[in-house]
Every structure is written in C-alpha cells, then in structure tokens.
Chains A and B, each alone.
Chain A
Amino acid sequence: AQKVTQAQTEISVVEKEDVTLDCVYETRDTTYYLFWYKQPPSGELVFLIRRNSFDEQNEISGRYSWNFQKSTSSFNFTITASQVVDSAVYFCALALEEWANNLFFGTGTRLTVIP
C-alpha cells in the first residue's frame, strides 16, 4: 500500500525566513513519482513539481528547492526567503504510474508567512 506522511500540520514563519516542508512516503514499488502541489486560500491546487524515483537530483526553481532522498524515503520542499504569497497549504503526493492516474495525497502542511 502507498502512504504519504506530512508530519507538520501547520508552520508559521516570518517573512524572509527559509522554511522546509517535510514529506515521507511509503511504497513497495521501485518505480514511482512524487509531486508537490500548492493550495492557496482560493482552493485551486497548483502543480509545483514532479520527480520520478530514478532521479535523485535535487532541483531548484527560483526560491523553491526540493531534496529527494530515497535512503530515507523523503521528498522535502524548501522555500527560501519566504513571502506572504507563499502562505498556502502544501500537499505532497505519490503516484505509481507515470501519467499520475492515481495520486496518493499527504494530509498537507499549512504554511503561514507572517509579514
């Protein structure tokens, strides 16, 4: 069975601080895909990143970076120099198929960035 755990329910940081959102996953499959989505107060989920299990390279996109470590089954997400607009709920998800037909979501981490 697949499982995604986001142990941090809520995090608050002051603007410009760095923050890391943790994601731990469980699967017995050797091929899988990991995702991060952002859900701002408006409700719409915004796709941030997809990684496959064979690519452990860390990725940086602007202020966002992702650290994928198979040894610890983790796919953590760091926001540097946080901004108020980063306030949202962030979901980590796992899929077993490349085309993400069946996404297993974590419970989400609510990030509040205080100005």
Chain B
Amino acid sequence: GAVVSQHPSRVICKSGTSVKIECRSLDFQATTMFWYRQFPKQSLMLMATSNEGSKATYEQGVEKDKFLINHASLTLSTLTVTSAHPEDSSFYICSAWGLAGGPADTQYFGPGTRLTVL
C-alpha cells in the first residue's frame, strides 16, 4: 500500500528557532502534498497544498512567511516553521496524493510530527 513517512516524529525546540519537517512518499510519486495541523482533541485543519515544482497554496489565515513549504520533488515536501513560538505547538500531519501510477483514490497520510515549542 501507499506509505508516507514524516521526520521527525517529535521535536522540541526553543522559542524563536526554526524547525523543518519532512514528508516523503515512499512507494509512489506524489503529485500533490498537503499539510495539516491538528490541535489536541480537534480535527485536522488544512494549512496548505503543494504541487511539485510550484509554489504552495495556503489556506486563509495561514501565514506563508511563517510556514514555508517546499515541494522540490515528487517524493518530498518540507514544512519549515520559522521563528516558532509556543502557540505553534501542535501536531503537524502531511498527506500525499499521487497520479502517474500512484494511488489516486484518496490522500495517504503520514504519521504526524508533534512539535512542542518551549
């Protein structure tokens, strides 16, 4: 089946530092990757959609300068939380959707990254 990995699974950082989260599709090419944010006991909120080789599309209310997304290849997207603050602490989940031979019936989700900003 389609596998999506995320690294790191957990990260703790000091306020003001930047954190990079990687999302990889392991066995298929992901035309599109999505980044979600999930607060405790809440639903997933879409932050942005990224297509390989183009700029990400951010949802309303998401600061593009704070959450930098790069989708440089068909198997890798990165989310960088710049100058992180405690309110950025959350569970960040990526998902990938594939075409060109990959699974296309749904998004396949990564295991998530728990970010804690002290």
Do the beta carbons of B43 and A103 come within 8 Å of each other? no
Q: Please give the distance in Å from B96's CB to the nearest CB on chain A.
A: 11
Interface of A is mostly: loop
CB-based A-B contact count at 8 angstroms: 47
Do the beta carbons of B43 and A99 come within 8 Å of each other? no
Do the beta carbons of B43 and A107 come within 8 Å of each other? yes
**Of B20-28, B63-71, B72-80, B108-116, which stretch is located at the interface?**
B108-116
Do the beta carbons of A99 and B112 come within 8 Å of each other? no
Contacts of B93 in A (CB 8 A): 43, 45
Do the beta carbons of A42 and B106 come within 8 Å of each other? no
Q: Assess A44 versus B43: contact at CB under 8 Å? Given A100-B97, A101-B32, A101-B49.
A: no
A residues at B contact (CB < 8 Å) = 35, 37, 42-47, 50, 91, 99-103, 105-108, 110
Which 8 A-B residue pairings sit nearest by Cβ, starting from the closest?
A45-B109, A43-B112, A44-B111, A107-B43, A105-B43, A100-B106, A105-B44, A47-B106
